[in-house]
């Protein structure tokens, strides 16, 4: 299925990867705004025009980086989940696993701030994300949903109260993302999802500068509260 057929194809894969690597390097160094195709080509020792054989435009290169970034955070979240599940002597309560997943996302963001900015920064209105991105973009969300679903099946959920005006919407969302969950958790879940990234974004983008010092503790505390808001019962001493 993925057998490489010849030298040409093999070279294409390698060059494509080299371009993305160099682009990522420039992204980390100067930010997305200053990422330049010509500079990438220069650094790779090739003509700038040759680069267009691999990515038809600068936006396409950026899109590829976006997809990779989504995949990277998604994988970070997934391995965090898997690791938490495998804890000994027994896995921690689901609320703690939620915090672990959230913490992994935060760690990834701290380690790759520019890539984080690329995907959760300013996907300006008017530029609608290409279809390629929607799959990878949902991986983190999927981990969170899966966590809630498993917690529901195993321990049950402290289903949050649902405002009357949100009932229809709750059922719509639930049908969309998790038909087997009580509808009331659906709005709480999307809200918690957004708020999680609000916490991370504020930290990454420097809004906490000269104000919050113990950022990890603050984040863990807030993430724990969010876990409760979606119905997860935490360990009593969790904080």
Residues contributing to the site for DNA (CB under 7 A): 5-9, 11-12, 15, 35-39, 42, 45-50, 52-54, 56-59
- Window 142-171: contact mask with a copy of itself (x via CB under 8 A): ---------------------xxxx-xx--
User: With CB under 8 A as the contact rule, which of the stretches 11-19, 43-51, 75-83, 118-126 interacts with a copy of itself?
Assistant: 118-126
Q: Which is nearer to a copy of itself, 3 or 122 (CB)?
A: 122
Q: Which is nearer to DNA, 35 or 151 (CB)?
A: 35
User: CA-CA-CA-CA torsion for 30, 33, 39, 41, nearest 10 degrees?
Assistant: 120
Give min distance, CB of 40 to a copy of itself, in A.
Answer: 18
Give the binding-site size for a copy of itself (rule: CB under 8 A). Answer: 58
Give min distance, CB of 130 to a copy of itself, in A.
Answer: 12
Burial 104-134 (b: 16+ CB within 10 A, else e): bbbebbeebbbbbbbbbbeeeeeeeeeeebe
Decide: 177 and 145 in contact? Cβ < 8 Å: yes
Q: Which two tokens stand for residue 158?
A: 């402290």
First and final C-alpha spacing in the chain: 48
Q: Is 130 in the site for a copy of itself (CB under 8 A)?
A: no
Q: Is 196 in the site for a copy of itself (CB under 8 A)?
A: yes
Give min distance, CB of 74 to a copy of itself, in A.
Answer: 14
Query: Among 114, 136, 145, 174, which residue interacts with a copy of itself (rule: CB under 8 A)?
Result: 114
Give min distance, CB of 125 to DNA, in A.
Answer: 20
Residues 27-46 that bind a copy of itself (CB under 8 A): 30-33
Query: Among 2, 86, 90, 122, which residue interacts with a copy of itself (rule: CB under 8 A)?
Result: 122
Residues of this chain that interact with a copy of itself (CB under 8 A) are 30-33, 113-114, 117-118, 120-129, 163-166, 168-169, 172-173, 176-177, 187, 190-191, 193-199, 201-209, 211-214, 217-218, 221-222, 225, 229, 239
């Amino acid at each position: 299925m993925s057998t490489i057929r010849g030298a040409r194809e093999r070279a294409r894969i390698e060059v494509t990867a080299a371009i993305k690597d160099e682009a990522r390097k420039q992204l980390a160094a100067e930010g997305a705004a200053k990422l330049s195709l010509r500079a990438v080509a220069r650094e790779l020792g090739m003509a700038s025009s040759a680069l267009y054989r691999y990515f038809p435009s600068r936006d396409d290169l950026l899109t590829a980086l976006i997809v990779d970034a989504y995949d990277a955070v998604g994988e970070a979240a997934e391995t965090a989940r898997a690791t938490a599940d495998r804890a000994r002597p027994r896995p921690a309560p689901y609320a703690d696993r939620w915090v672990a997943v959230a913490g992994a996302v935060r760690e990834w963001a701290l380690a790759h701030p520019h890539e984080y900015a690329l995907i959760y920064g300013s996907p300006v209105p008017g530029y609608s994300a290409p279809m390629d991105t929607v799959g990878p973009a949902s991986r983190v969300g999927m981990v969170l949903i899966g966590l809630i679903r498993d917690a529901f099946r195993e321990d049950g959920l402290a289903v949050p109260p649902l405002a009357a005006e949100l009932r229809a919407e709750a059922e719509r969302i639930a049908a969309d993302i998790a038909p087997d969950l009580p509808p009331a958790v659906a709005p709480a879940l999307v809200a918690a999802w957004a708020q999680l990234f609000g916490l991370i974004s504020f930290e990454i983008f420097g809004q906490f500068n000269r104000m919050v010092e113990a950022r990890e503790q603050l984040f863990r505390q807030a993430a724990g509260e969010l876990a409760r808001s979606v119905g997860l019962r935490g360990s009593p001493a969790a904080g």
